[in-house]
Amino acid sequence: MRKRMWMLAAGFFVLVIIHGVFHWWMEPIFVAKGSHFGGMPDMVADTLLFGLFCLYAFWFYRRSERKRDKYQTLLNASESMAGTGAWTYDVRGKSFHATAGLWQIIEKESDPLHSIEACLSMVDVSDRERIGSAIKKALHTSSGWQLQYGITTFKGHRKRIESKGKVLKIGGNHFLVATIFDITVTTEQQRRVHFFNALVNHSYESVLLTDTERRIFYVNEAFCKMTGYTKAEVIGQTPHALKSSGHQDAAFYERLWESIERKHHWEGELLNRKKSGEVYRERIVISAVYHDEALLGYGAVSSEIASRNKTLEHYLHIGEYDPLTGLLGRFAFMERLDTTIVSQSSAQQLALLLLDIDNFKKVNDGLGLMSGDRVLQLIADRLQSLCEDAVAVGHIGGDEFGILYTDLDDEALHLKSVQIQELFAVPFGIADTMVYLSCSIGIALYPYDAADADAILRKADIALQQAKHAGKGSTLFYSAQIEGNAPQMLALEHQLHEGIERNEFFLQYQPKVSLIDGEITGFEALARWKNSEGESIPPGRFIPMAEASDLIITISEQLYAQAFAFADALAAAEPDRDFHVALNLAARQLGKPAQLLTLLENLFERYPKAAHHIELELIERMLLESNQELLNVMQTCKTMGIMFAIDDFGTGYSSLSYLKKFPVDKLKIDQSFVKGVLKDDKDRQIVSTIIQMAETLGFTTIAEGAETEAEVRFLQRHGCAVAQGYYFSKPVEPNRATELFLLQPFKDDTVFFGDYTI
């Protein structure tokens, strides 16, 4: 303020000087001319000078206003950040002034008429007297005060306030000047800390906290009681320095810390040693504690496990964890399986995946046992990180692993087994050698396949053995059929090999008929097999067996050649007609994309007229397991003129928007829904919804398994483009298929004439 006055006075002084200089300079000029400087010219000059001064004063005033506004805004912001406010009270003049921070704290619009009494009325009644006497005392002694009290804001919120103030005497007048702090949060935090402290101190669970260097800075009473160490003995030490049971090796702890670093958390059971040397078993949760992404330290909460119905010696004997891999050992894994079954409601599904490394012997034989062990450790690591969501992952023994899942449906289990197989796609690096491996998986389900742990393990093992017979990298779910047919399955597998050698596989073709006019738009090629004894084996039996191993790839190669020859001949016979021969594509064929693409390229070269007449049918699940590679393969196929249809649509995830990511042209509505359209409202709805949505997204719909006129009429009415089923024709020999294509007999079918409603 004073500075501003000085600057204005200086401005005025400069003006007076300029005025003087002006007269001193102008007057001799006027006198020389024989006149006098005054009158009109002097008035004009003075007015100009005065105007200039006014301009200066105005500019000066605006500048200081702006400056004040700026500082006021900054001050308000800093007050608001700090949760502070300030007020002054002129005791004689009874005027009260408050800063924006204060209004914010009491949650009221700034109000110049607000009185100190009104402020006091917000304070908790129980605190008012204390505040009144503190201020009175400060007035008497010209001193200050520091108080904490509660208020209820104008919006009704309860807040805790700290106020610091003092009395200033200016010109015989007393002023109260005070700052207030909103300490609600801090008080609440302190209250909570106090609360937790009390709880942790008196908890039955042992609690241990360390800093980031893992040096202990806190343990509670329960820890001391459980371990026998006093606080003084452990504070400042690392847990490592305490006695270890020796039952978990360095690799185990390495994995444990690795898990904490990755997931900020580890939970499990381990054997530890008390100060007295006694070994005990504890369940422990270790957490890495972060604040604002910075590590604060680690906390461990644990409790001793009373040895339930087993004796401690039992655990010591069986070894909870397998020392080689750090996974659960065989007995502990089985026990986990057992307890999970007991605690499980029978409505929940529990799955045991038993995994065996194919030809592991070659690793041990070729690289030595040490390297074999290292490979097992690497496998265990990969399994553990993939199966984090499993109930348990165990090393059952040798090259066998077990994984326990609850609440995964068949679809999800299948996906998981594929992911496990994919873990082996990346070779294992041992020193400078790359080891390529695959695994076989057998899966058994509780309660469907067996009702107790031992039986589940046995069933999973039967499935595993069958999977091994099926070939490297196979997965099989247990089924009574597998068990009952185990010997026949072996025989079938043998026959499949023979069948391939003897070219016993052939195709039948089932027409796909346009529901607009009955024209045959193409055929689905379906595998058939007559074995050396002249027995026809249905695809439902041999395809799953072949698909469990790479046999399906060889069989498909033989069948695709036949289908291309058929398409080539048909195109030659009817060069101007559009049609597609649809081939079923197995997951394993997509698993070897280079081989598939080479096969297709070679066949197009051999049967050039087949170009633009080939379609591949694949099921949704194959897309869900997909990766960029699959998309690339599909796109390459598209450039060859191949179309894609999704088979059995509606039975999987049925995500149309997901399908849009892939170059899919057609959807084949699964037979089960088509069968239901006449009986089941839900099926009717599913079919009509699929048709509608598919149309919106630009897919053509094909209904499978249309057997009756009524079904065909329903599909027709709901806008389904094409139908395939016994109503029109069963799968037929190639010659008959060609004949049907040339004759187009379905164009005369009754469904394409007249009205009919259901």
Contact set with Ca ion (CB under 5 A): 584, 617, 647-648, 704
Q: Which residue has tokens 């027995």?
A: 535
304 binds, among ligand C2E, Ca ion, none (CB under 5 to 8 A by kind): none
Separation between Cα atoms, residue 28 and residue 45, nearest integer Å = 16
Report if residue 540 touches ligand C2E, rule: CB under 6 A.
yes
Binding mask 698-737 for ligand C2E (x = CB under 6 A): ------xx-x----------------xxx----x------
Q: Please report how close the Cβ of residue 479 comes to Ca ion at its closest, in angstroms.
A: 21
- Strands 722-724, 144-152: pairing is unpaired
Report the residue number, 178 or 702, with the smaller CB distance to ligand C2E.
Answer: 702
Q: Please report how close the Cβ of residue 529 comes to ligand C2E at its closest, in angstroms.
A: 10
CA separation, residue 580 to residues 14, 299, 616, 643 (Å): 101, 65, 10, 8
Report the residue number, 496 or 526, with the smaller CB distance to Ca ion.
Answer: 526
Cβ distance 740 to 509 under 8 Å? no
Report if residue 677 touches ligand C2E, rule: CB under 6 A.
no
Report the residue number, 178 or 546, with the smaller CB distance to ligand C2E.
Answer: 546
Report if residue 354 touches ligand C2E, rule: CB under 6 A.
no
Instruction: Enumerate the β-bridge partners of residue 98.
Output: 87
Q: What is the dihedral of CA 517, 518, 524, 527, to 10 degrees?
A: 180
Q: Is 746 exposed, middle or buried (0-12, 13-18, 19+ CB in 10 A)?
A: buried
Peptide bond into 447 cis (omega under 30): yes
Report if residue 220 touches ligand C2E, rule: CB under 6 A.
no
Neighbours of 96 (CB within 10 A): 19
Q: Please report how close the Cβ of residue 677 comes to ligand C2E at its closest, in angstroms.
A: 13
Q: Please report how close the Cβ of residue 671 comes to ligand C2E at its closest, in angstroms.
A: 6
Report the residue number, 302 or 724, with the smaller CB distance to ligand C2E.
Answer: 724
Q: Please report how close the Cβ of residue 382 comes to Ca ion at its closest, in angstroms.
A: 35
Report the residue number, 300 or 674, with the smaller CB distance to ligand C2E.
Answer: 674
Report if residue 614 touches ligand C2E, rule: CB under 6 A.
no
297 binds, among ligand C2E, Ca ion, none (CB under 5 to 8 A by kind): none
Separation between Cα atoms, residue 188 and residue 13, nearest integer Å = 61
586 binds, among Ca ion, ligand C2E, none (CB under 5 to 8 A by kind): ligand C2E
Q: Please report how close the Cβ of residue 455 comes to ligand C2E at its closest, in angstroms.
A: 31
Q: Please report how close the Cβ of residue 632 comes to ligand C2E at its closest, in angstroms.
A: 21
711 binds, among ligand C2E, Ca ion, none (CB under 5 to 8 A by kind): none
DSSP for 560-610? HHHHHHHHHHHHHHSTT---EEEEE--HHHHHSHHHHHHHHHHHHHH-GGG
Report the residue number, 11 or 652, with the smaller CB distance to ligand C2E.
Answer: 652
Report if residue 551 touches ligand C2E, rule: CB under 6 A.
no
Q: Please report how close the Cβ of residue 528 comes to ligand C2E at its closest, in angstroms.
A: 8
Q: Please report how close the Cβ of residue 733 comes to ligand C2E at its closest, in angstroms.
A: 13
Report the residue number, 208 or 622, with the smaller CB distance to Ca ion.
Answer: 622
Report the residue number, 248 or 584, with the smaller CB distance to Ca ion.
Answer: 584
705 binds, among ligand C2E, Ca ion, none (CB under 5 to 8 A by kind): ligand C2E
Q: Please report how close the Cβ of residue 280 comes to ligand C2E at its closest, in angstroms.
A: 57
DSSP for 201-269? HT-SSEEEEE-TT--EEEE-HHHHHHH---HHHHTTS-GGGS---S-S-HHHHHHHHHHHHHHSEEEEE
Q: Please report how close the Cβ of residue 453 comes to ligand C2E at its closest, in angstroms.
A: 35
In this structure, what DSSP letter does residue 655 have?
Answer: -
Considering only residues 624 to 663 of the shown chain, the ones binding ligand C2E according to CB under 6 A are: 647-648
Separation between Cα atoms, residue 384 and residue 268, nearest integer Å = 14
Report the residue number, 182 or 647, with the smaller CB distance to ligand C2E.
Answer: 647
Report if residue 476 touches ligand C2E, rule: CB under 6 A.
no
Residue from 337, 586, 596, 614 binding ligand C2E (CB under 6 A): 586
Cβ distance 451 to 524 under 8 Å? no
Report the residue number, 568 or 617, with the smaller CB distance to ligand C2E.
Answer: 617
Backbone angles phi and psi of 504, in degrees to 5: -85, -5
Helix (H, G, I), strand (E, B) or coil at 101: helix
Q: Please report how close the Cβ of residue 508 comes to ligand C2E at its closest, in angstroms.
A: 7
Separation between Cα atoms, residue 20 and residue 748, nearest integer Å = 121
707 binds, among ligand C2E, Ca ion, none (CB under 5 to 8 A by kind): ligand C2E
Spatial neighbors of 201 by CB under 8 A, at least 6 apart, are 220, 221
Report if residue 559 touches ligand C2E, rule: CB under 6 A.
yes
CA separation, residue 548 to residues 355, 463, 488, 542, 558 (Å): 15, 12, 16, 10, 18
In Å, the largest CA–CA distance within the chain is 148
Tabulate helix, strand, coil % of the chain (nearest 5): 50, 25, 25
Spatial neighbors of 228 by CB under 8 A, at least 6 apart, are 274, 275, 276
510 binds, among Ca ion, ligand C2E, none (CB under 5 to 8 A by kind): ligand C2E
Residue from 259, 474, 510, 738 binding ligand C2E (CB under 6 A): 510
Report the residue number, 402 or 725, with the smaller CB distance to ligand C2E.
Answer: 725
Q: Please report how close the Cβ of residue 587 comes to ligand C2E at its closest, in angstroms.
A: 9
Neighbours of 754 (CB within 10 A): 6
Residues lying near ligand C2E in the complex (CB under 6 A) are found at 510, 526-527, 538-540, 543, 552, 556, 559, 584, 586, 647-648, 671, 704-705, 707, 724-726, 731
